[in-house]
Amino acid sequence: MNDILLEAAKRIAAAGSDSARLDARLLWDHAQRSGTDFHALVGRREKREPIAYITGHKEFWSLGFRVGPGVLIPRPDTETLIEEALRLVPDRNAPLRIADLGTGSGAILVAALKEFPQATGTGFEASPEAFGWARENAARLIGARAQIQQADWSGAEGPFDLIFSNPPYIASGEIESLEPDVANYEPRAALDGGPDGLDAYRALAELLPDLLMHSGHAFLEIGAGQADAVTALFPKLEILRVAPDLSGIPRCVTLRKP
């Protein structure tokens, strides 16, 4: 087995992955569980298909989410939004009404509802493919407390106590320079934030004041270097904090409706 894994890791490394040994181990474990041909899995990874798409699984907030083509893969950095909500809302049993705008796989919404067991939530997702993944994950992991609607953000009807969003924030011209795992496989609509990467935040700046309850909070993921530009777009809301992720990069803008 060690020789097989070593050879697989060499093939994956030659294709440009900087986590080739881990990739090979994850694919081996998946092949053993699923009965899938290991060498076929390695071939997919050589083409830089994301591990999460190959295995159909990605962990977020210690929860197992099913993912595949058409949905953004959850990232550890996004857990910063959940951490900030827990910091600001100490009452875990509050009967909150939560929204996730552009819910993708449903990861943020499900994680928030796990932490606030008396809350209910709605995820809004325009993409038919992502909507399918979110609906499956929410039904399996949280049940009736979560509703997933195939709708654009403009279809949201508040007010909500907490609103989360990980919007597209990569500038259009930068997408092709991303790692092939992302640029060639993950849905462009979940990445492309327009010419300057800020289009989604401009839309959110129009929506959030009407969607939030008084004293309600919004938690928005941002890209590296976007903090000043994003916070300037929300004059109607109070900027409470820009929280860093585990790498120290400003990642979550927390806002409150006065």
- Asked if the structure places residue 66 within a domain, the reply is no
Domain encompassing residue 17: 2-47
57 domain residue, yes or no: no
Using CA atoms, how far residue 136 sits from 12, 103, 109, 220, in Å, is 31, 12, 13, 24
What single-letter amino acid sits at 106?
G
Secondary structure of 169-194 in the HEC alphabet? CECHHHHHHCCHHHHCCCCHHHCECC
**154 occurs within a structural domain:** yes
Condensed to tens digits (0 to 9), the pLDDT of residues 20-40 reads 999 989 999 999 999 999 999
The dihedral built from the CA positions of residue 6, 30, 50 and 169, taken in this order, carries a sign that is negative
Shared domain check, 145 and 91: yes
258 residues of the chain, pLDDT tens digit each: 588 888 988 888 889 888 999 998 999 999 999 999 999 999 999 999 999 999 999 999 999 999 999 999 999 999 999 999 999 999 999 999 999 999 999 999 999 999 999 999 999 999 999 999 999 999 999 999 999 999 998 888 889 999 999 999 999 999 999 999 999 999 999 999 999 999 999 999 999 999 999 999 999 999 999 999 999 999 999 999 999 999 999 999 999 999
Interaxial angle between packed helices 20-34 and 2-14, expressed in degrees from 0 to 180 and rounded to the nearest 10 = 120
Closest CA to 124 of 146, 93, 94, 95: 146
Tokens of 202: 């401009």
Residue 70 belongs to some domain of the structure: no
Q: List the CATH number of the domain containing 116.
A: 3.40.50.150
List Cβ neighbours of 249 (8 Å cut-off, separation of 6 or more).
Answer: 77, 224
Question: Which amino acid type is present at position 187?
Answer: P
- Is residue 189 included in any domain, yes or no? yes
> 99 with 39, same domain?
no
| Same domain assignment for residues 90 and 31 | no
Tell me if 163 is assigned to some domain. Answer: yes
Same structural domain, 123 and 32 = no
pLDDT in tens, 135-183: 999 999 999 999 999 999 888 888 999 999 999 999 999 999 999 999 9
Number of domains in the chain: 2
Shared domain check, 93 and 39: no
Q: Cβ-count burial of 43 within 10 angstroms (0-12 exposed, 13-18 middle, 19+ buried)?
A: middle
